[in-house]
Amino acid sequence: MSTSPTTTLTLRRPDDMHLHVRDGEAMRAVLPFTAARFARALIMPNLRPPVTSAAQALEYRRRILQALPAGAHFEPLMTLYLTDRTDPAEADRARAGGGILGFKLYPAGATTHSDAGVTDIRRLDAVLSRMEETGLVLQVHGEVTDPDVDIFEREARFIDAVLAPLAARFPRLRIVFEHITTRAAVDFVLSAREGIAATVTPQHLLMNRNALFAGGLRPHHYCLPVLKSEADREALLEAVAGGNPRLFLGTDSAPHGRAAKEAACGCAGIFSAHGALELYAEGFEAIGRLERLEAFASEHGAAFYGLPRNSGRIRLIKRPWEVPASYPYGAERLLPLRSGEHIAWQVAEEPPSAGTGAGSTDMASP
């Protein structure tokens, strides 16, 4: 093993399999950060009103493509917002739509813009059967919403109360347990039946719940699921560094204007798109497994979703940079993760070599 520290890292262009880009001016402010790093992203449907139909998703997809900076090569992948009233035929329309990968389950009240979400998953058997038959994937926000359950226990409770029974009732349904935060979730996913995977965010790999209270209340470190204990963080980092193909990159970058975050009742969501890949590199480096970043970021997600691998490359350099205090966000300002502090890695300005087809894809090798 080489003892010299790695100073550059060239990867296949990655995919962000869980991203909030919002809409309109807000979208135009944040989308360039993602398009500069990722070839594709799975776009979350929790707009107001939510994206509940294939027709709405295709419209939203078109708006995203129009908002891309000139010359960007980026493909939005879509998912529909599941409600108590989702028509099973919507699964067939989604399948036919092209570029729609599945449905997102928000338990009603679990997080930002989830009030139209599902009150009881057992009422959705017909939709879930259609998804299982057509190969659409269920993306799950995995937290129970009972206000009597301790907020740090809501994910673990969800596994036993909802997710494990659901996976058993629909044995061929493909499920992504989104933004997992606990050792319990890692254990569940790694020992679950085939067809179950999970995304992991940079914040849950790099911070524990102390970051919510470091020297005072830190609203910009508040997201859902909330940051967990150091033991949970270590379990997540060890699991992704272990290289299991069931775990892949999904930033959950979730921008909110400053006023919505710094309020008596502040919104959940951490914006990380300005340094997403670089932050994951810090995590993998900290555990001495930088060589495992590429599979986590650029291979496992595509393989789970049955998508071709991206053929372009992106290069990271180990050179600390200071994150701006804030970025413009429509008429507001947005405070990014590490605002005014440093990120150890940066994306190289120039592409690693000419002619790598930054926007194209090639077939995954077996």
Helix, strand, coil distribution of the chain in percent, nearest 5: 35, 20, 45
Which part of the chain contacts ligand NCD (CB under 6 A), choosing from 109-117, 152-160, 297-305, 310-318? 109-117
Which one of ligand NCD, Zn ion, none interacts with residue 111, CB within 5 to 8 A by kind?
Answer: ligand NCD
CB of 112 to ligand NCD, least distance (A): 3
Single out the catalytic residue among 15, 16, 232, 252: 252
CB of 100 to ligand NCD, least distance (A): 18
Among 34, 111, 199, 251, binds ligand NCD (CB under 6 A): 111
How far are the Cα atoms of 15, 68, 279 from residue 351, in angstroms, in the given order? Answer: 17, 19, 19
Among 21, 140, 254, 323, binds ligand NCD (CB under 6 A): 254
Residue 312, classed as helix, strand or coil, is: coil
Q: Is 112 in the site for ligand NCD (CB under 6 A)?
A: yes
120 part of the active site: no
Q: Is 141 in the site for ligand NCD (CB under 6 A)?
A: yes
Q: What is the DSSP letter of 14?
A: P
Q: Is 223 in the site for ligand NCD (CB under 6 A)?
A: yes
- Which tokens is 215 given? 């020297």
How far are the Cα atoms of 33, 36, 223, 280 from residue 207, in angstroms, in the given order? Answer: 22, 25, 12, 12
Q: Is 252 in the site for Zn ion (CB under 5 A)?
A: yes
CB of 18 to Zn ion, least distance (A): 6
Element (DSSP H or E) covering residue 188: helix 183-191
Q: Is 47 in the site for ligand NCD (CB under 6 A)?
A: no
Contact 215, 235 (CB under 8 A): no
Q: Is 261 in the site for ligand NCD (CB under 6 A)?
A: no
- Cβ contacts of 267 within 8 Å, gap of 6 or more: 112, 256, 260, 261
Q: Which residues bind ligand NCD (CB under 6 A)?
A: 20, 46, 111-113, 141, 223-224, 252, 254, 268-269
